[in-house]
Chain A
Amino acid sequence: MKSSMISRNSVATAVAAAIGVGCAVVAPAVAVAAGKTPGKYVSGDFHNHTTCSDGSISMQKLVDKSIGTGAPFGLDWFVQAGHGGNGNRNCTLVEDASLATPAYPFIAGKGPTTTWQSSPTPVTPKGDVSGSTPNRNMWRWQSIQEFQYPVIEYLNALKSTPLFIGLESVVAGHEHTSMSVITGQIPLALDSALLPSAPPYAALGNATALAQWEYCFDRGDTDTSRGAANAWNCAVPGSANQADASWSGTAQKLIPAGGAGTGIRGHSKTVEALKWMAAFHPNGSYYVPAHLERAGPFNPDGNNGFNVEHLRNFNNAAPDVAFGFESQPGHGASDARGEYTVRRNNIAGVQTDSVGGTTYGGTGVYASQLGGVWDALLGEGRNWWFFASSDWHNRGSFGPDDTRTSQDFYPGEYQRTYTMVRNGADKLRPQSIVDGLRTGNAFASSGQLIDRLGFIACVSYPGLAARSNAAVEALAVAAATNNTDIDTAGCATMGEKLRVRPGAEIVISIVLRDPSGANIAPYTFDNPSLLQINLHRPVNEPLLDHVDLIRGLVSGYRTPGAADYSGEWPRNTNWLRADGTTPADLSGVPAAAKNASAAVIKTFSGASPWTPVISSVDGTSFLKMTYRVPAVSASQYLRLRGTNLPPAVPFETDASGNPLADIYTNAVDRAMLRIPCTIAGTNVPPASPTYTARNINGCPLHLSTANGSSPIAGQRAVSFDVAAWSDLWFYSNPIYVEVQGGQVVAGVK
């Protein structure tokens, strides 16, 4: 779709960003209501690992667990995306006969930890030599191009499931990003392909574009071979390329020098990567920074985290490609939720916290903090969306088939991102899925807290153009019960904007489904967090407690180089204090990283009534709620969050219902553990053998025992997967309201 400048003035005044990256501000091509192709909200995951990088299982087992028939996690689409760089293990070999397929049979004595050179058909990795025989590493570009993509394409066809391949890039100048280039993958011809009854499988499509990107721009890929016979050139149209001091003539790519300035040079390379994607694959790629608070703040002399200005630079450079973040990280069951910890990163010789020190209800501080970085970006009117992925690697103390975990959840097991994919009568395909991600018409939910959401805002004017609550509720009910959205003039949903005249009234209807019965948590004992407030509710039967409607004002894009464009979140104890508390307000947060106008304007709950409604589609129970914003005079956005935890649950939520620091349930510091888990139960299994049932009625043995100065020292405490299953949240993406004559919401057409 055609891109356009948001305003001539903003471009004319744009100057180099604080760290030297000049980025034109370009509006993304995002669809709005009217004439929409029909679609459904479908759940997926785009960040997970196999043994080809640092995961623990084969590609086939991961696909089978995540999306396979009979898999409990039931995702609708799946992107396999290991780290960039290299690896010596062949993740295309299966663990056992149950995972065998005609083209990829089980071979006794060989499995996904077998090295490439020791594989049944030994493979000699191409390009620059890394490692030594028989354990030589294969560059990711080769494993994607020649091995991983063919498996994904084959399984896509064999299982009739929407699979494609992506990457968790090791980012130059930063830590990691979930991304893909889908060009060439899963061609239409695959629909009618005859699959072989024996090896080998010859792919019809290819992931060459993704492989080339990985070679050109991944920090972990230090190969200089130009992809061997691929003879790639990584030049970016309109960029310095050979004139850049970091350019390698041999490798035909930027290879920034290490040492002082590493982060600055690396970030510049990454902006080039985005320009490359925008130039060559404008609608066929995405770039979503992952667990972006984990590695701490941006480090100009190293490769650490992302500050708000880097997200702005990415979105400015390629608004159709860099359109959001995974501020809700995976690794939800680890001893430090999301693997975010204090003093995690050594920056300039100083141990530095993950930004925010930890997660907050499982979400990083950038998105969980009301008025924080996400609100700052939305307050510009940017298309910057919220996503959640599993970051699956392994099960920690347990084997891969255990229902308990002390490290990761499988894709779809805990977090699900539901995205509106407009595929009409067609099957789900990579292009329609990526198009869906780009629109921001999506929400993320943990622990199956909700699995349907209709979130609609309609404009109402006095007189004939007035809309009743009932009329808007009916639209939302129809949308949610049919698992779709709306296509009604004068109304908008997530990722869209509603254009209104000054003084208009906005009618907001929310219809959602809190699934009845049990979720897939393996624990049936009472949620220990809720027991603190005398509420008895099994861990595996969470109940939505309330929904917050959040509003923030839109004040326009910040100008690169301006004082309010760049700013680091308060680091270390300037944010997360030793006792686990955080500042009462955002006065210590730089202007660039906050939106002071963001606030909860309405909380819905059983007491602030929502109304049950029975679906005429399938008879399941939904909740509906409506709120009217009177006389709007300024452009704004509306978003939702909800949780199973009431306000003022000790060590979980504050008096206003905001999530507290997860440091109180992180076993990495047992002296900080605060919530006892003391239900003995009658069937708590031992550490081994593998336990596969979902009926554990007492606190599991792997929970940590609080120690030191903890007031519950000596008691087993909520931690690991029990902490995650006890503390559930959902986040919607925003609906923008653009007031005529007011601030333009430039990020959404």
Chain B
Amino acid sequence: MQQLTMGAAREAQTESMPAHTVRQWLREPLLHFALIGSLLFALDHFLVSRTDDPHVIVMDQAVEDEARRVFAAARGREPDADELRALRQVWLDNEILYREGLVLQVDRGDTAIRERVIFKALSLIDAGVKLPAIDDQTLRAWFEKRRDKYDEPARFDFEEAALAGTPTESDIRQFVADLDHGVPGDSRAGLRVFKGRPQSNILQSYGEEFATALAGLPVGQWHSLQSKTSWHAVRLIGYAATQPADYDLVRGPVLQDWKDAVASEQRTAAVRALASKYQIVSASRE
């Protein structure tokens, strides 16, 4: 309800403002912060006000619908009137137990309940996240700041003929000589085939020295290469150079990433806003 009011106010406001000014406002993080903060305080008030009268239990249509659904799932048919009455009574009994349990604070110290409540609260925050409108120019600028993430990386196709255990440099050099004389690549501990591996993968898994050497290998010949941990008998099969990303082709993923990033910022801001309600005391750690 509060959310609708805020939305209506925003619509009313935008009608009287120039379009570019509106867009600037909608991109303004402080506005998002204020909107979410308002929503959360409203939500908080709503929840608190509900708990003001914990002795009122409302059995509405949702209860009956859920009872019907559970019964149908278990029995494969709709409950009759008596069964429905019994189910409503079960729900009521459980709700009373639930309320009593909360009064007794049996949820305290139960990590499963804590996690579930956290997840639900976060979901409420997520539901309140309102992404600002974004035009193509702004999105393109956002993309340009991160374009290396979207570039098609250099990719390598290569094979490794493996030896058992941790072979020495001389073991590998001898093996490479054997491979050059026609010994099959899978003749010893097996052949590993790597296709389309991005350069970042080579760097992360084998190290810079290996990646540089691999990029310089002639195609189709076995070589001994040293990675950050061991020696390898390697043959480059193919190489594709880096291709700069074409914004028009990657616009969809870019837009999704932008949405995720902004939503994440707003989610964090919202939680931090709630933190202002609490006095945070840091206990010293041993």
Contact = CB atoms under 8 A, between A and B. Distances in A.
B192 A607 contact: yes
A648 B205 contact: yes
Interface in B62-99: 70, 73-75, 86, 89-90, 93-94, 96-97
B256 A678 contact: yes
B264 A705 contact: yes
A96 B74 contact: yes
A396 B112 contact: yes
Interface in B129-180: 155, 159, 162, 164-166
A691 interface: no
A393 interface: yes
B208 interface: no
Given A534-B196, A650-B205, A605 B190 contact: yes
Contacts of B93: 108-109
Number of contact residues on A: which range applies?
A: 35 or more
Interface in A628-670: 646-651, 654-657
A56 B115 CA distance: 14
B198 interface: yes
Nearest to B165: A599
A534 B197 contact: yes
B123 interface: yes
Most buried by A among B86, B115, B202, B265: B115
A533 interface: yes
Given A108-B86, A534-B198, A650-B204, A396 B190 contact: no
Interface in A488-542: 532-534
A394 interface: yes
B162 A603 contact: yes
Contact of A600 (B70, B97, B164, B265): B164
B90 A108 contact: yes
Contact of B192 (A98, A395, A584, A605): A605
B190 A608 contact: yes
A655 B115 contact: no
The secondary-structure label for the interface of chain B is: helix
Contact of B123 (A108, A534, A584, A701): A701
B120 interface: yes
A715 B260 contact: yes
B116 interface: yes
Contact of A687 (B112, B123, B256, B264): B123
A249 interface: no
A657 to B, nearest CB: 8
A602 interface: yes
Nearest to B126: A701
A56 B164 contact: no
B189 A654 contact: no
Interface residues of B, number: 57
Contacts of B165: 599-601
Contacts of A393: 112
B77 to A, nearest CB: 13
A396 B206 contact: no
Interface in A340-363: 346, 349, 351
Contacts of A56: 112
Interface string B187-203: 00111111111101110
Interface stretch (B4-12, B19-27, B51-59, B225-233): B225-233
Nearest to A680: B256
B198 A602 contact: no
A714 B260 contact: yes
A686 interface: yes
Interface string A552-581: 000000000000000000000000000000
A654 B115 contact: no
Nearest to A705: B264
B212 to A, nearest CB: 16
B264 A714 contact: yes
B261 interface: yes
A12 interface: no
Nearest to A346: B286
A349 B286 contact: yes
A693 to B, nearest CB: 13
B38 to A, nearest CB: 22
B229 A654 contact: yes
Interface in A594-632: 599-609
B118 interface: yes
Interface in A153-185: none
Given A109-B93, A397-B119, A602 B190 contact: yes
Contacts of B286: 346, 349, 351
B189 A397 contact: no
B195 to A, nearest CB: 8
Nearest to A106: B90
Interface string B16-50: 00000000000000000000000000000000000
A609 B166 CA distance: 22
Contacts of A98: 70, 73-75
Contacts of A398: 116, 119
Contact of B164 (A396, A601, A701, A702): A601
Contact of A533 (B74, B89, B94, B196): B196
Contacts of B265: 714
A109 B90 contact: yes
A97 interface: yes
A630 to B, nearest CB: 12
A702 B119 CA distance: 7
A109 B260 contact: no
B209 interface: no
A136 to B, nearest CB: 15
Given A108-B86, A688-B120, A584 B264 contact: no
A43 interface: no
Contacts of A688: 120, 123
B120 A396 contact: no
A680 B259 CA distance: 10
A580 to B, nearest CB: 11
B161 to A, nearest CB: 9
A389 interface: no
Contacts of B205: 647-650, 654-655
Nearest to A674: B204
A655 B164 contact: no
B194 A648 contact: yes
A397 B118 contact: yes
Interface string B106-127: 0000001001101110110011
B74 A97 contact: yes
Interface of A: 56, 96-98, 108-109, 111, 346, 349, 351, 393-399, 406-407, 532-534, 546, 551, 584-585, 599-609, 646-651, 654-657, 678, 680, 686-688, 701-702, 705, 714-716
26 contacts: A98-B70, A108-B89, A109-B90, A346-B286, A393-B112, A396-B116, A397-B119, A533-B194, A546-B192, A551-B164, A599-B166, A600-B189, A603-B192, A604-B190, A605-B192, A607-B159, A607-B190, A607-B191, A608-B190, A608-B192, A609-B186, A655-B227, A680-B256, A686-B123, A686-B127, A715-B260
Given A394-B112, A608-B191, A678-B256, 17 more contacts: A97-B74, A407-B112, A534-B198, A602-B189, A603-B190, A605-B191, A607-B186, A607-B192, A648-B194, A650-B201, A654-B205, A657-B192, A686-B123, A686-B127, A687-B120, A688-B123, A705-B264
Which 3 pairs, one residue from A and one from B, show the smallest C-beta to C-beta distance? A603-B190, A98-B74, A109-B93
